Amino acid sequence: MPTTAQIPASPGSRRLISALGGYGMVLPAFLLMVAIIAYPAVLSIIQTLTTGVDGRATGFTLAQYLFFFHDRLSMTNLLYTLRVGFIVLAVLLVVCFPIALYLRFSHSKLTSAVYILALFPLFVPTINLSFAMIRFTTTHGLLDTLLSRAGLVHYVTPYLRTSGTIIGLVWEGIPFTVLILNAARVQVDDSLLESARDVGASIPQVFLRILLPLIKNAVIIILALQFLGILGSYTIPYLLGPAEPEMIGVFMERTYDQVHAPLQAQTQAVISFFIAAIAGILYVRTVASQQRRTEGR
Amino acid sequence: MSTVAVPDRAEARGSLRRRPWVAALGKLAYREGFGVLLLVTLFLFIVGPMLSVILWAFAVRWQYPSLVPNAFGFRFWTETFRRADILSAIPQSITITVVATALSALVSLPASYALARLRFPGRQFLLLSFLATNAFPRFGLYITIAVVFFRLNLIGTVPGVILIQVVNTLLLMIWIPTAAFRSVDRSLEEAALNVGASRLRVFVRITLPLVFPAIAAAVLLSVVNVFYEAQASLIIGLPNVRTVPVLMYSLTNNQLVVQYGAVLMFVTWIPSLILLGFSQRFLRGRYFAAGFGV
């Protein structure tokens, strides 16, 4: 007599079981994410849109946002954040494309050393990086000492300046950028690049005409995620950057913790969400289209 | 005098050229100029800061303009590990890391199996929804979470910090194993099923060993992420919960003795370096990018 397990189930009921099992396995993680990410974010959007400047609940109002956009300090900090963000993105691309191209086109034994060095910051926690960067770049720090030994005595430390924030954020962004560029490059058919080289195309030509269009998605993902990272950063600008103007993350923390104005901090957070939304949507859409392509394969 | 010196110098130059290592170095600089330049710049920029902290950790006294500490020693090591704040932060960090990673694995691994292997409507949407953890600016998110946690009395509690760390690791704990489960060759499993192996046996003996490296890597990355996470722990954990990274803020900003921070960083950073050794092969693989949703 066959046991129940051996009776072949009909295709329809098997599909149903599989679907129910699937939901059962995914839902705990999904609900956790909804409860801790989506719910607080939506709640903050609602609260900031229904509370007046005096802190009393009203109907729909833009008071919190009008306050932000008319407040000189808030606007200075917001524009400063955007400016630093764009500089960091530009520096990252300028630094990381040559590294990625070098990794691709050089047959030297040095490539693995360059790759390991470029990925190294991945294994340095942000807080440790900030501490190390201060010790390295501060006046009379190791860099200053090295430079003065070489006869360069007019060292100006980037510590507590905007350049300190930029250096820290670039340091943190390098491994991710190189990693994704490299991963995308691996997917590109090597023979395509080789044949272009064979017919006499220079490396910059191959890069601009062939490689760049093929790895466009990777570049979008890098730019979007790095932008989100910069907008949501706190440790590096707080420890390495100037006290004024502040990056939006530092500004939020101070508003929440020291000024004790949670609603203003929420407003700042929601504004950062909306600015980031462009990058966030780009990121999700690009990844989604890549997923569809791998599904179809 | 000068007539004597000229052939001397020429000879010296000639002998220099004859030395093979000089020629080799010259050739290397010519052929690999860009690579060498890249390597030296990266080394200075990436290793330099780390090197200065390591030197500080073993320094008893280090005054400008000395290139290395004036006196080496372990004096500050004993002092560092006598500090009550450091002694309580280390076990607290370890507890939070272990519990958060275990919980994250518990909810994420079944989800990643289902997302990779089972067919059901909305699967693609659910998979993509986990990108949301990456699609918000982090610090803004923590502020909005803090407002909710404050009402739930989760601010300054270990469960509060654990919850936020679990959510922080969801993306890599789901996407990396999902990519691995997808890449398992189905014909291997079908062959085993055809010769009469049970589904459970196929899963344990065939599927699991194939995806194990990716799962191990996801767990390791999650451990490192949680242990060193500072921003969420700061805003959710204070004033009662002080993890090692949160302590580092005050050791960086309000501490005149550099060595406390340097020693603590050196000691807690070792696990991360060991991981670098372990995951070198994994880093060259394609799953790693999956942790970012690529």
Q: Which residues of B touch A264 (CB under 8 A)?
A: none
Tell me how far apart the alpha carbons of residues B10 and A226 are, in angstroms, rounded to a whole number: 56
Tell me, what's the pLDDT at B220?
Answer: 85
d(CA B162, nearest CA chain A) in Å: 12
Instruction: Pick A188 or B3 by higher pLDDT.
Output: A188
Q: Do B128 and B24 sit in the same domain of this protein?
A: no
Tell me the per-residue pLDDT of A64-86, one tens digit each, with 9 for 90 and over: 999 999 999 999 999 999 999 99
Q: Are residues B117 and B254 in the same domain?
A: yes
> Residue A181 — pLDDT band, cuts 50, 70, 90?
confident
Q: What is the ipTM of this complex?
A: 0.86
- B262 φ/ψ angles, rounded to the nearest 5 degrees: -65, -45
**What are the distances in angstroms from CA A172 to CA A130, A285, A292, B121, B160?**
10, 25, 30, 39, 27
pLDDT digit string, tens, across residues B255-287: 888 899 999 998 888 766 776 666 666 655 556
pLDDT in tens, A24-69: 999 999 999 999 999 999 999 999 999 887 778 888 899 999 999 9
Name the residue among A41, A136, A228 with its Cβ closest to that of B48: A136
pLDDT higher than 60, residue B7: no
Residue length, chain A? 297
Q: Which is higher by pLDDT, B278 or A150?
A: A150
Amino acid at A31: L
Does residue A39 fall inside a structural domain? no
- Say yes or no for a CB contact (<8 Å) between A125 and B228: yes
CB-CB neighbors (< 8 A) of B245 in chain A = 125, 127
- Identify the pLDDT of residue A31: 95
Number of domains in chain B: 2
Question: The domain spanning residue A245 has which CATH number?
Answer: 1.10.3720.10
- Which residue in B52, B131, B148 is closest to A135 by CB distance? B52
Task: Tell me, yes or no, whether B62 and B127 share the same domain.
Answer: no
Task: Provide mean pLDDT across the span B211-222.
Answer: 87
Look at residue A41 and tell me if it is in a domain: no
Question: Would you say B54 and B48 are in contact if contact means Cβ atoms under 8 Å apart?
Answer: no
* Domain with B147 in it: 84-290
The pLDDT value recorded for residue B28 is: 64
Identify the residue among A37, A119, A134 best suited for mutation to test binding to B, counting B beta carbons within 10 A and taking the highest. A37
Establish if A230 belongs to a structural domain: yes
Number of domains in chain A: 1
| Mean pLDDT of the A271-287 span | 90
> With DSSP H G I counted as helix, E B as strand and the rest as coil, what are the percentages for chain B, rounded to 5?
80, 0, 20
Q: Tell me the average pLDDT across A177-187.
A: 82
| pLDDT at residue number B19 | 64
- Both B150 and B62 in one domain: the answer is no
Helices A216-231 and A72-105, interaxial angle, to 10°? 140
**What residue numbers bound the domain in which A160 lies?**
70-296
Instruction: Let me know whether B29 and B90 are in one domain.
Output: no
User: A1 falls in which pLDDT band (50, 70, 90)?
Assistant: very low
Residue A287 lies in a domain: yes
Q: Does the beta-carbon distance from B235 to A229 stay under 8 Å? A: no
Chosen domain end from B17, B43, B78: B78
Question: Is residue A49 in some structural domain?
Answer: no
Query: Is the Cβ of B269 closer than 8 Å to some Cβ of chain A?
Result: yes
Q: Which two tokens stand for residue A79?
A: 């524009």
Give the rounded distance of the alpha carbon of A283 from its chain centre.
10
pLDDT of residue A284: 86
Evaluate if residue B88 carries a pLDDT over 80. yes
Which residue among B32, B54, B78 closes a domain? Answer: B78
Alpha-carbon distance of B80 to B259, in angstroms, equals 8
Cβ of B167 within 8 Å of Cβ of A37? The answer is: yes
CB A178 within 8 A of CB A100: yes
CA dist., res. B247 & res. B94, Å (int): 14
Which among B78, B93, B128 is the end of a domain? B78
Mean pLDDT of chain A: 87
Query: Using CA atoms, how far apart are residues A157 and A159, in angstroms rounded to an integer?
Result: 5
| B239/A contact by beta carbon, under 8 A | no
Nearest C-alpha in A relative to B220: A123
Of A132, A142, A284, the CB nearest to B131: A284
Residue B192 sits in the same domain as residue B219: yes
**Rounded Cα distance, A24 and A45, in Å:** 30
What pLDDT score does B283 carry? 55
What average pLDDT does range A229-243 have in this prediction? 94
| B227 to B162, B163, B178, B262, B284: CA distances (angstroms) | 11, 14, 24, 17, 24
- The H or E element containing residue B34 is helix B33-42
Long-range contacts of A8-14 (CB under 8 A, 24+ apart): none
A13 belongs to a structural domain: no
Judge if B98 and B197 occupy the same domain: yes
Please judge whether B272 and A135 are an interchain contact, meaning their C-beta atoms are less than 8 angstroms apart. Answer: no
Is the residue at A22 inside a domain?
no
Cβ atoms of B81 and B87 closer than 8 Å: yes
The confidence band for B247, taking pLDDT boundaries of 50, 70 and 90, is very high
Residue A112 in contact with partner chain B when CB distance is under 8 A: no
* Chain A: closest CA distance from residue B196 (Å): 12
CB contact under 8 A, A228 and B49: no
**Amino acid B156: pLDDT:** 94
Q: Are residues B126 and B163 in the same domain?
A: yes
A37 in reach of chain B (CB within 8 A): yes
CB contact under 8 Å between B134 and A225, yes or no, is yes
pTM of the model: 0.85
Whether residues B31 and B159 share a domain: the answer is no
Average pLDDT over residues B161-190: 91
Q: CA of A196, closest CA in chain B: separation in Å?
A: 22
**In the A/B pair of chains, how many CB contacts fall below 8 A?**
312
Judge whether A270 is closer than 8 Å to chain B, CB to CB. yes
For an interface test with B, give the residue of A27, A36, A101, A120 to mutate (most B CBs within 10 A). A36
Provide the CA B124 distance to its chain's centre, in angstroms: 29
Closest Cα of chain B to A280: distance in Å?
5
DSSP state, residue A57: B
Residue A31 domain-assigned (yes or no): no
pLDDT in tens, B97-153: 999 999 999 999 999 999 998 888 889 899 989 988 888 899 999 999 999 999 999
The answer on B28 and B46 residing in a single domain is: yes
- Which of A181-195, B81-95, B148-162, B164-178 has the least mean pLDDT? A181-195
pLDDT of residue A82: 96
How do residues B17-70 score in pLDDT, each as one tens digit?
556 666 766 666 666 778 888 888 899 999 999 999 999 999 988 888 888 898
Q: Which of B25, B31, B51, B52 to probe the A interface (max A CBs under 10 A)?
A: B52
Q: Using CB atoms within 10 Å of the CB of residue B272, give its burial: 0 to 12 exposed, 13 to 18 middle, 19+ buried.
A: middle
Task: Select, from the ranges A158-162, A285-289, B98-102, B240-244, the one with the highest average predicted confidence (pLDDT).
Answer: B98-102
Check: CB of residue A228 under 8 Å from CB of residue B137: yes
B272 touches chain A (CB under 8 A): yes
